[in-house]
Amino acid sequence: MSGRKARFDDYEVDFVRRELRKCGIRIRLQRKPFRVLELLLRRPGELVTREELFGFLWPDSHVSFEHSLNTAVNSLRRVLGDSSRECHFIETRPGLGYRFSSPVEEMTDADSSPTPPGSLGKNRDAYEDYLKGRYFLDTMAEEEEIYKAIAFFNSAAIDETCCSLAHAGIAEAYGQLALFGSVCSSRVVSHARSSVESALRNDPDLPQAHVSAGRVKMIFDWDWKGTQESVDRARTLDANSVPAHTLQGSLLCTLGSYEEALQVCRHALALDPLSFPANLQFAACLYATRDFEGVIDQCWKMLTLRSGFAPAQILLALAYQQLGMYEEAVVEFQNAQRCTGLQAAATSGLGHVFAVAGLEDNAEQAFRELSTQAQSRYVPYYWYAVICAGRRQKDQALSFLEESFRQRDPALLSLKADARFDNMRTDDRFQVLLRRLDIQTSAPMRI
pLDDT over 50 (residue 119): no
Residues 213 and 299 in one domain: no
Cα dihedral sign for 240, 244, 250, 251? negative
pLDDT for position 30: 84
φ/ψ (deg, to 5) at 377: -155, 165
Which of the four pLDDT bands, split at 50, 70 and 90, describes residue 53?
confident
pLDDT for position 115: 38
205: containing domain: 122-239
Is residue 407 domain-resident?
A: yes
pLDDT for position 442: 41
- What residues does 97 pair with on adjacent strands? 49, 93
Contact between residue 78 and residue 35 where contact means Cβ atoms under 8 Å apart: no
Residues 231 and 277 in one domain: no
Query: How big is the chain, counted in residues?
Result: 447
By CB neighbour count within 10 A (0-12 exposed, 13-18 middle, 19+ buried), where does 23 fall? exposed
Average pLDDT over residues 359-383: 95
Whose CA is closest to 140, among 411, 283, 340, 378? 340
pLDDT for position 275: 87
Average pLDDT over residues 90-111: 80
| Helix pair 242-255, 207-219: axis angle to 10 deg | 20
pLDDT for position 17: 81
Whose CA is closest to 332, among 347, 120, 399, 140? 347
Number of domains forming the structure of the chain: 3
User: What is the pTM for the complete model shown?
Assistant: 0.73
pLDDT over 90 (residue 425): yes
Residue percentage of the chain with pLDDT more than 70: 91
pLDDT for position 60: 63
pLDDT over 60 (residue 152): yes
pLDDT over 70 (residue 417): yes
Q: List pLDDT tens digits, range 311-344.
A: 999 999 999 999 999 999 999 999 998 887 789 9
CATH number of the CATH domain containing 127: 1.25.40.10
By CB neighbour count within 10 A (0-12 exposed, 13-18 middle, 19+ buried), where does 113 fall? exposed
CATH number of the CATH domain containing 63: 1.10.10.10
